[in-house]
Amino acid sequence: MSESSIHTNLVRLLAKWINEMLPPEDSSHMLIDVPENPPHKKPPKLYEFVPDIFVLNTTRYAFVIGEAKTPTDIDKNHTMEQLTAFLRKCSESNNSLLVIAVPWHVARLARSVIEHCKKKAGLEVVKTMVIERLPG
């Protein structure tokens, strides 16, 4: 499986996980960056980066940002800049969530990367989750 197909598969699994986590009425608010979605169903740019998933005005959260990462891109500078931007966006609301989906064998690394980004940016209060066991 190519790197892009692994990423797309992770995005789809993350979308399914978020959909199951939120009440049914919130799923219509989910914007997903997958090839088959038209532009109006894709997430907006947040501080120069487009997340894989964006859900606005949910019952539980002001918004949810979802990002899928493959083993080869989890610790790249681009990823750290991207995650920091998403953390900054989440810090604008005290009730938001950043969810990172990764294959199980890089979950510890992903947690370390996100904690590093939070600490470096002074955004330790932002709620984050690293999801490694996705449905599917």
Domain ranges of the chain: 3-131
State the CATH class of domain 3-131: alpha beta
Cβ–Cβ contacts within 10 Å for residue 130, how many?
A: 20
Model confidence at 28, pLDDT cuts 50, 70, 90, reads confident
pLDDT score of 82: 98
Q: Which residue has 């990367």 as its token pair?
A: 113
pLDDT for 117: 97
Rounded-to-integer distance, Cα 32 and Cα 38, Å: 10
How high is the mean pLDDT of the chain? 92
The model's pLDDT over 68-111, given as tens digits with 9 standing for 90+, comes to 999 999 999 999 999 999 999 999 998 999 999 999 999 999 99
> Cα angle at 5 between 23 and 126, to 5 degrees?
45
User: Which residue in 18, 10, 39 sits closest to 103, CA to CA?
Assistant: 10
Per-residue model confidence (pLDDT) at position 25: 83
- Residue 22, number of CB atoms within 10 A of its CB: 18
The confidence score (pLDDT) of residue 129 equals: 96
The model's pLDDT over 36-73, given as tens digits with 9 standing for 90+, comes to 999 999 999 999 999 999 999 888 889 999 999 999 99
Beta strands in 16-61 (DSSP E): 30-32, 53-56
> Is residue 129 classed exposed, middle or buried when 0-12, 13-18 and 19+ CB atoms within 10 A define those classes?
middle
pTM (predicted TM-score): 0.93
**pLDDT surpassing 60 at residue 135:** no
pLDDT at 65 (0 to 100): 97
